[in-house]
Structure 1
Amino acid sequence: MSIQDVVSKRLSGAQVNHAQSFLKPGQIVQGKIVKLFPNNKAQIHIGSQKMIAQLEASLSIGENYHFQVKTNTDVTQLKVIGEQLKDNTTDNMQKLLQELGMKATKAAISLMEQLMRDKIPFDTEQLIKAFQLLEGAANKAQAQSVVKDMIIHKLPVTDSIFQALYTKTTSEFSDQLNKLLLQLKQDANQTPLKQTLIERLASLTEHNHSNKSALIKHILTEIGSNQIYFLEAAKTTELVDKRVNFSSWKTEWQGFAKNNFENVPVQAITLTNQQLTSLVLPFEMISSEVLPTLSKLAENKGILMIQAQVLIQQFSSAINTASIHQIPLATEDFSQLKLQIEKSLLPFLFDRQQQLVNTLLQNNPTSLNQLQTMLKTLSNKQTYAQLEQLGKSANHADNLLVTKPHDQFLLQLKQVLQTTGLAHEFYVANDLPEQQSATIKSMVLQLLQHSGGQINDRAQQLIHYINGMHIHSVNESTNLLQASIQIPGEKLALNKDIQLEFEGKKTESGKIDPAYCRILFYLDLTNLKETVIDMNIQKRAVAITVFNDNMPILDHSHELKRVLKDGLHALDFYLSTITVKPLKQVDMEKETAPRKIENNSYQGVDYRI
């Protein structure tokens, strides 16, 4: 059984039971006469419920009928539609459609059979709209499933909601993101909006959006504006030879860009997996060393800026004079400069910088000029501003490369929640333009206004998918809260996207109570393949069930139990059990049977027929 089948069954189970609990005027249901009582009363069975009805029509015990819910001033009435049902379900559906004045097409009959089989109430207006949607669908079976889902959740049966749910059901989030990303990269007309959207989409899906890609973009952007901040910072930290000047730096990088990314806008640059490992950067710069090295420099920016400024104010004039006359500093001045640097600057530099400064602490004009250039770099606010910008560009991807798996997962989850646009309508309704404009959904909606052709088609599909995610994201009642979200899995080295489902008691603030909740993870792992993890929490006791058809997983679960137990304990939870079952047993874990409404006294009347 596939994970998609599992998800579908898990999602539909509880929802059907909920849908059966209320009958509304106009809805059509199937019921069975169970018992007859005096005074024209009978016990009838509708869906999972048994109730007492007042008979105002001639019905037979043990037989099934179709009823339509009517209203009255005192009790709800059930109108019989047609005659008692036969054993042939298809014939029954044909006759019901005829009674309702609708055409009995194959798709219509099939949908009706599904609704009746799963005991889902529906009304004629829903049917008319549903049949229209089915008529235009290429995949009738999938469309029927979507329409059924809409009726179960009491959603308006409209084309926009159908397209949203149909797209979400028939594709993955990563697939929609990647298809639009590909179209945008191939588009020759690159606008700022498209470039920003390319970067945002790539940050969610591309495994190769690493610090090397961010570094290349940053340097090419900087030299395009004739800025030298990165170069000077790189020379200061010995990432680049201190003798490299801006002219040779710019020429070398422009040649590098032409050879590897010709005709590709800077912000649209992405690296293939091969380039990640084989692409040699100019000046033999090692990309994996750049961000950690410059981050250390930025950590002490406050004290470094102050100390560098003091040294420049105190010794700049003497160094300039020595440079003009090509003579060394006075012995006393040089001794004082060396003492000040060793005392106030070196302690805040890491080893490589300390070594560089020591090599420059020579009393000759060339070394003194290079030392003064380095001090100016350390004293300049723009140096650190550029380093912070580079850090922000590479931060998310770099964290994914170096952090532990659970941290990678949380980073990717946070990225999805912040950038996708699931809260787009909330931002619009509450007049929050800044948050609204930063989301992928907002950018794609803008793109739809200024593009056409394949880009427009792909953009519309992504909007449908995000809308589908939004529709299924939260379902709440008075005391319970359910939430669902999809996370692109490619960047986490998974075969497919992750699907998460949360359900639990609501706290007073309306959030899920972490002490009483349930979390389901639907995964497709590289080695273990399709896997479902069911984590049930009661009074902070965590019971975990792993569904996987790779049964040797049971042997390894014992090895990881101690680590999991310690990790939960640190969060004030404790592990109660870990159980491993075959994936095929997931659908056997049935939801609690829906409540049966009985009235043993037979005194009241629930419905009148």
Structure 2
Amino acid sequence: MNVSGLKGTVAQLIAHLGIKPEPAATKLAEYLLTNRLPITKETFRSALQWLKAADAAVVGLPVIKTMFIQQLPFVKGVFDALFTQSKGEPFHKLLSGFRQQLQDGGAVTGTASKLKEVLDSLHVAKQNQLQQIGLQKLVTTWLNSDSTPEMKSGAFSLLQKTGFVPKGMTESVFLESLVDGAEVRSGIPENSAIDKLHQGLQLLSEAKGGAFAHVEEIEMAINRILNSHDHEKAKLPIDIHSMQRKNISAEKLTPLAFHLLQNAFAEAIATKAVGGKIEVNDLIGYLNMDTEQVAESKGKEAELLFKSLNEPPEAQYARINEKLVLSHVLAADFQSIDFTNGPSVAHQLKEMTKVLGLQLEHALINLPGDDMADFPNDLETLKPLLLKLLNEQIPAAIKEMAEQILNRITAQQILSQENGPIQNLLLTLPLNLGSTQTDLTLQWSGRKTKEGKIDPDYCRVLFYLELGRLEETVIDMQVQNRIIKVTVINGRGASP
């Protein structure tokens, strides 16, 4: 069909459908006719309305084509999901931006808090995460009763290296300085982990001045505080009140100070785990009241963790016990996928699909009868939490970004479907490669076996990655009768 003939046909079609002859309608009609896509009055009106609202025909028209070709439900929800997917904004940036908005934008609901935890588990905003909790992890590793002596010494050494503890100050001197400074503190929140720590350190300060007779007496008083009994009643039990008091050496008091710190941090972490008030940062502030120094230490700790990710093990940036601690923190809280280990990669990908909530509908459909025992876990994932958040009173900017992320997840589900004997799968995940953040998009297409399972002998897998130096890179893996052909494609050309 020539151009003039096409324009005439378009005009006739629009008139026949009773549509106002406007540029958007003309463009849609031309696209549908050129691509030989089915046209009805209802689908045309719907498509035109969606394209106008999206205000991006270049992206929107191919989405309409995809919906027809893949025989997807011709509804706005499907269009919105695929349109958001097609815009191509990096998924990890969407998630990182959303995490920051939840923190700064005033969404303080329980759902928002759970969403932040889920996003953290996906390792989004990694640099920000390292800044936020890297120092916490050093302090808790130093105080953790399960840490080995080597780990404890490494953690304390790193606290010195970041400036959180003054350079050259030994552990015992640092603990003694906390005891000596306890009396001048004020404004401590009552009945908190930090309050118990403060009361205990005050007792130790009084003990240095001769308020107690024996270390055992102090231990009894501290135990009463830790068990939430009143401090004043705890200080001098009646049965030993008349005993002769004496000054008790700092050498005997510092282990008690360490015990108090261990209890305080254990309680704060437990409180955080059950969704209560987060006190860990408050406790860090108690250990070092210089807020500028604490902020600087957080930055230095993040740098050390990044260096640990990127430098070879033999590099001389830290002592052996310090490297142990850095590796432990990264393994526990910022675990990266080991791409040299196939089963490990498979496990990590499966876990991430669960965290995204891609299996929510599957879990709902396959829920056995009234058995809801495991279902709450499926509701604590990204997609159901986003659905819940959108029903709450939240700022418009947060709502808009939540809808974008929800559409991206839904698009993955829509495009992962069966088409006759062929199984398609699309999966986009945020990925951390060292200190670099990117997306991993995995596109799988393959036939199914007679049992309905994916046939690993005949399939095609495409990996899309945006890399720092190689930029956009595609790995095309084709499997035919178990013979694998791998092609790496990027702007610099392709190589088999």
TM over 0.5: yes
Distance of aligned partners of 1:535 and 1:181 in 2 relative to their CA distance in 1, 3 Å threshold: same
Cross-structure match for 1:207: 126
Cross-structure match for 2:99: 181
Return the alpha-carbon distance in structure 1 between the equivalents of residues 409 and 293 of structure 2: 34
1:212, distance to aligned residue in structure 2 (A): 8.8
Equivalent residues of 1:122, 1:151 under 8 A apart? no
Distance of aligned partners of 1:544 and 1:399 in 2 relative to their CA distance in 1, 3 Å threshold: closer
Equivalent residues of 2:443, 2:462 under 8 A apart? yes
1:504 to 437, 442, 446: 446
AA in 1 matched with 2:410: N
Equivalent residues of 2:151, 2:324 under 8 A apart? no
Distance of aligned partners of 1:502 and 1:206 in 2 relative to their CA distance in 1, 3 Å threshold: same
Q: Secondary structure at the match of 1:136?
A: helix
Return the alpha-carbon distance in structure 2 between the equivalents of residues 256 and 188 of structure 1: 29
Cross-structure match for 1:515: 457
1:397 to 334, 337, 340: 334
Distance of aligned partners of 1:184 and 1:259 in 2 relative to their CA distance in 1, 3 Å threshold: farther
Cross-structure match for 1:146: 63
Unaligned runs of 5+ in 1: 1-63, 65-84, 265-269, 294-390, 555-577, 579-609
Equivalent residues of 2:151, 2:325 under 8 A apart? no
Q: Secondary structure at the match of 1:497?
A: strand
1:219, distance to aligned residue in structure 2 (A): 7.6
Cross-structure match for 2:144: 230
Q: 1:7-26 residue pairs with structure 2 within 5 A?
A: none
Per-residue CA deviation, residues 447-493 of structure 1 (Å, 9 max, x unaligned), is 2233311222222222122112211122331x221111112245566
Q: 1:218-367 residue pairs with structure 2 within 5 A?
A: 230-231=144-145, 233-235=147-149, 238-239=152-153, 245-246=257-258, 247=260, 253-255=284-286, 275-277=302-304, 288-290=323-325
Cross-structure match for 1:452: 394
Equivalent residues of 1:208, 1:272 under 8 A apart? no
Mapped pair 1:111 → 2:47: no
Higher Cα Rg: structure 1 or 2? 1
Q: 1:386-465 residue pairs with structure 2 within 5 A?
A: 394-395=331-332, 397-400=334-337, 404=340, 410=346, 413-431=349-367, 433-453=375-395, 454-465=397-408
Distance of aligned partners of 1:188 and 1:522 in 2 relative to their CA distance in 1, 3 Å threshold: closer
1:516, distance to aligned residue in structure 2 (A): 0.9
1:406, distance to aligned residue in structure 2 (A): 6.7
Return the alpha-carbon distance in structure 1 between the equivalents of residues 62 and 33 of structure 2: 14
Cross-structure match for 2:424: 482
Equivalent residues of 1:535, 1:544 under 8 A apart? yes
Equivalent residues of 1:532, 1:547 under 8 A apart? yes
1:550 to 484, 492, 496: 492
User: Bigger CA drift: 423-432 or 233-242?
Assistant: 233-242
1:286, distance to aligned residue in structure 2 (A): 6.6
Per-residue CA deviation, residues 513-556 of structure 1 (Å, 9 max, x unaligned), is 111111112222222222222211111111122223325x75xx
Cross-structure match for 2:195: none
AA in 2 matched with 1:147: I
Mapped pair 1:133 → 2:73: no
1:159 to 37, 55, 76: 76
AA in 1 matched with 2:125: E
AA in 2 matched with 1:275: A
Return the alpha-carbon distance in structure 2 between the equivalents of residues 536 and 257 of structure 1: 57
Q: Secondary structure at the match of 1:531?
A: strand
Per-residue CA deviation, residues 244-280 of structure 1 (Å, 9 max, x unaligned), is 533467698334676569999xxxxx9769733289x
Distance of aligned partners of 1:530 and 1:218 in 2 relative to their CA distance in 1, 3 Å threshold: closer
Return the alpha-carbon distance in structure 2 between the equivalents of residues 434 and 139 of structure 1: 39
Per-residue CA deviation, residues 541-574 of structure 1 (Å, 9 max, x unaligned), is 11122223325x75xxxxxxxxxxxxxxxxxxxx
TM-score, normalisation: structure 2? 0.61
Equivalent residues of 1:412, 1:487 under 8 A apart? no
Return the alpha-carbon distance in structure 2 between the equivalents of residues 257 and 436 of structure 1: 40
Return the alpha-carbon distance in structure 2 between the equivalents of residues 480 and 89 of structure 1: 36
Q: Secondary structure at the match of 2:54?
A: coil
Q: Secondary structure at the match of 1:488?
A: strand
Cross-structure match for 1:528: 470
AA in 2 matched with 1:175: K
Higher relative contact order (CA 8 A, sep 6+): 1
1:126, distance to aligned residue in structure 2 (A): 0.9
Return the alpha-carbon distance in structure 1 between the equivalents of residues 487 and 412 of structure 2: 26
Cross-structure match for 1:316: none
Equivalent residues of 2:135, 2:301 under 8 A apart? no
Cross-structure match for 1:541: 483
Distance of aligned partners of 1:399 and 1:496 in 2 relative to their CA distance in 1, 3 Å threshold: closer
Distance of aligned partners of 1:543 and 1:493 in 2 relative to their CA distance in 1, 3 Å threshold: farther
Return the alpha-carbon distance in structure 2 between the equivalents of residues 438 and 161 of structure 1: 24
Per-residue CA deviation, residues 17-38 of structure 1 (Å, 9 max, x unaligned), is xxxxxxxxxxxxxxxxxxxxxx
Q: Percent identity?
A: 25
| Count of equivalent residues | 358
AA in 1 matched with 2:382: I
Return the alpha-carbon distance in structure 2 between the equivalents of residues 445 and 273 of structure 1: 38
AA in 1 matched with 2:284: W
Return the alpha-carbon distance in structure 1 between the equivalents of residues 431 and 350 of structure 2: 14
Cross-structure match for 1:382: none
Equivalent residues of 2:151, 2:321 under 8 A apart? no
Equivalent residues of 1:208, 1:273 under 8 A apart? no
Distance of aligned partners of 1:498 and 1:90 in 2 relative to their CA distance in 1, 3 Å threshold: farther
Q: Secondary structure at the match of 2:334?
A: helix
Distance of aligned partners of 1:216 and 1:491 in 2 relative to their CA distance in 1, 3 Å threshold: same
Distance of aligned partners of 1:101 and 1:399 in 2 relative to their CA distance in 1, 3 Å threshold: closer
Return the alpha-carbon distance in structure 1 between the equivalents of residues 77 and 29 of structure 2: 22
Cross-structure match for 2:177: none
AA in 2 matched with 1:207: K
Cross-structure match for 1:195: 113
Equivalent residues of 1:174, 1:490 under 8 A apart? no
TM-score, normalisation: structure 1? 0.51
Distance of aligned partners of 1:87 and 1:395 in 2 relative to their CA distance in 1, 3 Å threshold: same
Per-residue CA deviation, residues 284-322 of structure 1 (Å, 9 max, x unaligned), is 9976423767xxxxxxxxxxxxxxxxxxxxxxxxxxxxx
Distance of aligned partners of 1:470 and 1:433 in 2 relative to their CA distance in 1, 3 Å threshold: same
Equivalent residues of 1:536, 1:543 under 8 A apart? yes
Mapped pair 1:469 → 2:419: no
Return the alpha-carbon distance in structure 2 between the equivalents of residues 219 and 484 of structure 1: 39
Equivalent residues of 1:130, 1:147 under 8 A apart? yes
1:421, distance to aligned residue in structure 2 (A): 0.8
Return the alpha-carbon distance in structure 1 between the equivalents of residues 333 and 345 of structure 2: 12
Return the alpha-carbon distance in structure 1 between the equivalents of residues 323 and 129 of structure 2: 9
Equivalent residues of 2:134, 2:298 under 8 A apart? no
Cross-structure match for 2:311: none
Return the alpha-carbon distance in structure 2 between the equivalents of residues 290 and 126 of structure 1: 60
AA in 2 matched with 1:112: A
